[in-house]
Amino acid sequence: MPLQDHREHLRLCRLCGNCRQAGTTYRAICPAGERFGFDAYYSRGRAIIAQKLLDGRLDWAMPVADVVYRCTMCGGCVEQCPVEYRDHILEIFLALRAECLDRSLISSAVKRFLETLYAYGNPWKAPREHRGDWATGTAVTRYTPADEFLYYVGCVGSYDPRGMQVARSLGEVLLAAGVSFGILGSEEGCDGNEARLLGEAGLFEYLATENIQTFQRLGVRRVVTLSPHSYHVMRHEYPRLGAGVEAIHYTQLLRDALAAGRLNPVRGFRRRVTYHDPCFLGRHAGEYDAARAVLQSIPGLDLVEMPRNRANAFCCGGGAGNFYVGALDGTERSPGRIRIREARETGAEVVAVACPSCMTMLEDAVKAEGLEERIAVKDVAEIVSESTGA
């Protein structure tokens, strides 16, 4: 929907400022606002910008695009909005980005990311035939119609060195749980979610359609994803393009496997752990309990919560392409560094994540904070693997 079609929706915004913070005792919930500190970078500020653009009181220019593209689409502002405007906030931000893209008002980093994704099918410029290299040496096999699940790994799990470790851990845990699954390897394509959230709807549909056609050709019925971003887009966006698959996130599958006794965490994990809610699993999908249920089932694991958790959790700063373009990095006010300081205050030795993008963002933040000897970042799948000996 183009921005001009949101004119009436924008009138619903009261400019009350609730979108700036979670409750009355916590800091700003908006990662862009927290990073830069100016009102323009908060949801309310972007609403004002959109209204002025539509009314002709502000010109489309690079400074406008700079503000628009700092948003991680985390949904924190949506959670805090007290009126029906909340139902349209992210749609309006997407419309702003699409307009910026049409007007060639994008940064060199965004332009480079989108061009690379179009040319190579991934942001790493890596050959597609290497997409399944993470599974080398494991018993993980190619998907066949006899498998119950397709394990969709995604770009980060396929090419990022740390993401590949997580993808491998999850693959081995799924094998240990007796899950019937396979992977696509070189036939897997990018899910397109970040292209969509950067305003490039055409590229998203191109990438998504390619995956959907592969799913249909192979008779895929159920998909388990490593990334919450893939889970979100396959659950909410792929159906309108004709996908007829059920998408679940891996934490939901592990929760059920542990509850059914198909995984036995006999080794335990005797450390204090705090869990970071991924935005696209939590606020976007409403799934807060699966990962916690998995962690709580592991003997010896002491789960503690950060003050900002669940719907009020603070974003790592990597959503909507920021993982690749680094729009919120660079200072101690970067969202990932703020989040790691919050984790440290709980006394946790480990920050558990359930998203490969969050993994990299928070590990980088640990290094920037100089806390490598005091706190580790581990994916939930890695913790399960260690506790079960998978």
Tokens of 284: 């976007």
Pick from 3-12, 16-25, 331-340: least confident = 16-25
**Integer angstrom CA distances of residue 203 from 210, 213, 304:** 11, 16, 41
The pLDDT of 234-246, averaged and rounded, is 96
Whether residues 217 and 285 share a domain: the answer is: no
CA–CA dist 183, 186 (Å, integer) = 9
Whether residues 209 and 118 share a domain: the answer is: yes
pLDDT for residue 50 is more than 50: yes
Q: Which of 57, 47, 61 is nearest to 17 (CA)?
A: 47
Q: What percent of the chain has pLDDT over 90?
A: 91
The pLDDT of 178-205, averaged and rounded, is 97
- Overall domain count for the chain: 3
pLDDT digits (tens, 9 = 90+) for 69-101: 999 999 999 998 999 999 999 999 999 999 999
Structural domain containing residue 97: 3-106
Whether residues 229 and 348 share a domain: the answer is: no
- Predicted confidence band of residue 329 (pLDDT cuts 50, 70, 90): confident
The pLDDT of 203-221, averaged and rounded, is 98
Whether residues 75 and 206 share a domain: the answer is: no
For the residues of 194-234, what is the DSSP string, one character each?
HHHHTT-HHHHHHHHHHHHHHHHHHT--EEEESSHHHHHHH
Whether residues 79 and 133 share a domain: the answer is: no
End residue of a domain, out of 75, 106, 137: 106
Whether residues 52 and 116 share a domain: the answer is: no
pLDDT at 22: 52
pLDDT at 27: 65
Whether residues 8 and 78 share a domain: the answer is: yes
CATH of the domain at 308: 3.40.50.10700
Whether residues 303 and 326 share a domain: the answer is: yes
- CA 29 centroid distance within chain: 16
pLDDT at 203: 98
Average of per-residue pLDDT values in the chain: 95
- C-beta separation of 39 from 46 below 8 A: no
Whether residues 84 and 220 share a domain: the answer is: no
Pick from 17-26, 214-223, 269-278: least confident = 17-26
End residue of a domain, out of 190, 220, 255: 255
Whether residues 268 and 383 share a domain: the answer is: yes
Whether residues 237 and 320 share a domain: the answer is: no
Whether residues 77 and 88 share a domain: the answer is: yes
pLDDT at 23: 47
- Predicted confidence band of residue 21 (pLDDT cuts 50, 70, 90): low
End residue of a domain, out of 255, 282, 303: 255
